[in-house]
Amino acid sequence: MRKLVLCGFLAIALLLAIPGCPSASSGQVFDGGAVSIQTFERGLWLKGSEVTIVNLYPGYVGSMEFEVGNGIQDNTVKEVRISVEPEDDKDLGDGWVQLPSQYYSWFSIDNPVFTLRPGESQKVTVTVSMPEDADYPNKKARCELLVMGWTVVGTTTNEWGDVVNVCGNVPIGVASEWYIETY
């Protein structure tokens, strides 16, 4: 009976259309920064779908460059968020393991959150820095660089007075799969 009453009177508003974008730390509308125009016409794209790092040793510091773009024909603004995440392939490959999450700090992304207007792209540099005291020799480990694109459908002002993007709730992402062999 209680359920019937609930059915009759409860209406839960699942307003999924207007969650705030996940850039909660600053929540600001990002000005694209040093972006360029590319010719990829559609979709969220990532140049650098696969990375291999061989002989990574304690004390090594280096960098690698990717490029992320937003297709011009989609006519949508994307808020882009980039992070290093576990590789989600069920089959990692013979001898390969997930890179333990405590080692994600070896990788720093120079510009992990930005906004791309239609047709814009941006280069992203990831610095690899294996600490001198790292103890992870002779391993074959995998992780991925995850680039999420949230379609901006508007802006609003949050409780702190910042203008924040309002995004759709079905974002798309593209991933770069990393294969790391330590020395």
Partner 1 sequence: MLVAVMAVSLLFPVVALAADPTVTITVSAVVVSITNSQDTWAIGPVVVDAVVYFSADGNADVDYSQIENTGNVAVDVEIQGTDADDETYDWTLAAAAGDKTYSLYANSEGAPTVYDVEVKSSSYVDLTTDLAALGAYDWSMKFTAPTDFDAADDGTDKTITVTLVASQH
* Region of 52-60, 95-103, 132-140, 157-165 interacting with partner 1 (CB under 8 A): 52-60
Name which of 6 and 163 has its Cβ closer to partner 1: 6
Question: What is the DSSP secondary-structure string of 65-119?
Answer: EEEEEE-STT--EEEEEEEEEE---S---TT-EEPPGGGGGGEEES--EEEE-TT
153's enclosing H/E stretch is strand 140-157
| Residues 110-169 interacting with partner 1 (rule: CB under 8 A) | 128, 144, 146, 148, 151, 153, 168-169
Residues in the chain: 183
Contacts by 170-173, CB closer than 8 A, 24 or more apart: 172/43, 172/44, 172/148, 173/44, 173/146, 173/147, 173/148, 173/149
Minimum gap (Å) between residue 21 Cβ and partner 1: 11
Among 1, 25, 34, 52, binds partner 1 (CB under 8 A): 52
Q: Can you say whether residue 170 is alpha, beta or left, with left for phi > 0 and alpha for psi between -120 and 50 degrees?
A: beta
Binding residues among 5-34 for partner 1 as defined by CB under 8 A: 6-7, 9-17, 19
- When the beta carbons of 65 and 162 are compared against partner 1, the nearer one is 65
Taking CB under 8 A as the rule, does residue 172 contact partner 1?
A: yes
Of 88-117, binders to partner 1 (CB under 8 A) are 88-89
Query: Interface residues with partner 1 (CB under 8 A)?
Result: 3, 6-7, 9-17, 19, 40-57, 59-60, 62, 64-66, 71, 74, 76, 88-89, 128, 144, 146, 148, 151, 153, 168-177, 183
